[in-house]
Structure 1
Amino acid sequence: MSELFDEVDEEVRRDQLQKLWEKYSIYIVAGALLIIAGVGGWRGYEYLEAQKAAEAGAAFDKAVELSEAGKHTEAEAAFNDLVAKAPSGYRMLARLRAAGEVASRDPKAAARMYDEIAADRGVGTEERELAKVRAAALLLDSASYPDMLARLESSAAPEATFRHTARETLALSAWRAGDMAAARKWLDLIANDGETPPSLRSRAEALQALLPPVAKS
């Protein structure tokens, strides 16, 4: 008797599944196709992005080769082309390199390009700080010490990524302006920072030796 009931239950379940399939099969098939299409689309997107990155990488390397060969006008054009077309990572690198190429012929124009990068909130913090420091370095011969201080004081803070370069630039600017107290301040910060690169430390020591006795530490 129990076997009979089992057969009946199995038949009922089979009928229920058949009815469910007839009612919802179109949705099940459609859902499966959408999943397959989605996975395929994502794989295709990843492939295309990888191709774009590879092409941008090759173009970037070519632009660097032009720069290293002294072909700055051609290199600048190549970097600007990457700025217009490359994926975001290479686009940012190309903006920085394009400004560097312009610096060889027009430092003030290059400084403006770096300033634009430094003011761009869509750019990473580290890249913005680097652009700020590079812009200031290009203006060292023409900007006043107060202007340089306004540009770089925050970049010279204890935990700032490019504080060493910022401090050296400020020390040089103060020295050129005849503000020996300010020059000593920045040179002391360089000397007392255990993470100051050796080459920069040596330059700072050489500059400090040029200060008048009353301004020495």
Structure 2
Amino acid sequence: MAYDLEEQEKLDALRAWWERYGTLCVVIAFVIAASVAGWRGWQWYQGHQASQAMGYYEALENAATQDGDDAITRVQAASQTLRDDFAGSGYAVRGALVAAESLRRRGELDAARAQLEWVVAKSGDAALIPLARLRLAGIMLDQKKYDEALSQLDNAPSSFAGLYADRRGDILFAQGKKDEAHAAWENALKLLGTDPLTQIVQLKIDALGEA
């Protein structure tokens, strides 16, 4: 009898606990299950987005190696999709750089410039923005927009200082400022150190002396 009373007390205590905390337990269990499901869903979505972005990037790379107006259209379309729909994927920035180079080779300077300006203004990728600015200065040089080109070379990051100085020399030379171009190229030699590019810079200086 004592045993039955003890069991009944335990059951009554359990029932009372459940009446007090049961709803809370159900809610907590639901929140945990929903959180796990949401996290797995987010991971799937992220993976799906990355897979789609990679597909567009590969299509862009493939089109960039081909010739003809159709290839240009496909390069621009793939890059636009990456920038519009997958801007945070990493493929958008790399795609814009590939597209810009492809368009530059085809003489589509305005279109190439637009790609690089997006990288500089919108990408937020601190590692690739300096490269985009360097290439943008080169396109502006080809367009004879010298002051705009020089403005891209301000505040050069240390890892690009030598390359920026070399490009500055190119722009100054195109403006007919030979002394300033010489000084810029000399500075580039110092900053580049043992980089193989110093041979090309030295050739520019030598050619300037002979001009």
With normalisation by structure 2, the TM-score equals: 0.80
The residue that corresponds to 1:205 in the other structure is 202
The residue that corresponds to 1:58 in the other structure is 55
Shift of 1:144: 5.4
Distance 1:66 1:140 in 2: 26
Q: Does the CA-based 8 Å contact 1:111-1:136 persist in structure 2? A: no
The residue that corresponds to 2:96 in the other structure is 95
Where do 1:24-103 residues align within 5 Å?
24-70=21-67, 71-86=71-86, 88=88, 89-103=90-104
Q: Does the CA-based 8 Å contact 1:190-1:196 persist in structure 2? A: no
The residue that corresponds to 1:177 in the other structure is 175
Distance 2:147 2:38 in 1: 56
* Root-mean-square deviation (Å): 2.9
1:100 maps to a residue whose letter is: E
Distance 1:181 1:76 in 2: 40
Q: Does the CA-based 8 Å contact 2:56-2:82 persist in structure 1? A: yes
Structure 2 counterpart SS, 1:126: coil
Distance 2:86 2:145 in 1: 37
Shift of 1:165: 2.6
Shift of 1:14: 6.4
Distance 1:59 1:116 in 2: 18
Q: Give the share of equivalent positions with the same residue, in percent.
A: 23
1:166 maps to a residue whose letter is: Y
Q: Does the CA-based 8 Å contact 2:137-2:148 persist in structure 1? A: no
Distance 2:56 2:146 in 1: 40
Distance 1:141 1:87 in 2: 28
Structure 2 counterpart SS, 1:140: helix
With normalisation by structure 1, the TM-score equals: 0.78
The residue that corresponds to 1:137 in the other structure is 138
Distance 1:194 1:137 in 2: 18
Structure 2 counterpart SS, 1:193: helix
Q: Does the CA-based 8 Å contact 2:109-2:143 persist in structure 1? A: no
Distance 1:91 1:63 in 2: 11
Distance 2:37 2:165 in 1: 53
- Does the C-alpha gap of structure 1 residues 17 and 196 become closer, same or farther in structure 2, counting only changes over 3 Å? farther
Structure 2 counterpart SS, 1:212: helix
Distance 1:76 1:183 in 2: 35
1:111 aligned to 2:113? yes
Q: Does the CA-based 8 Å contact 1:145-1:170 persist in structure 2? A: no
Unaligned runs of 5+ in 1: none
Shift of 1:67: 0.9
1:152 maps to a residue whose letter is: L
Distance 1:16 1:126 in 2: 63
Q: Does the CA-based 8 Å contact 2:185-2:205 persist in structure 1? A: yes
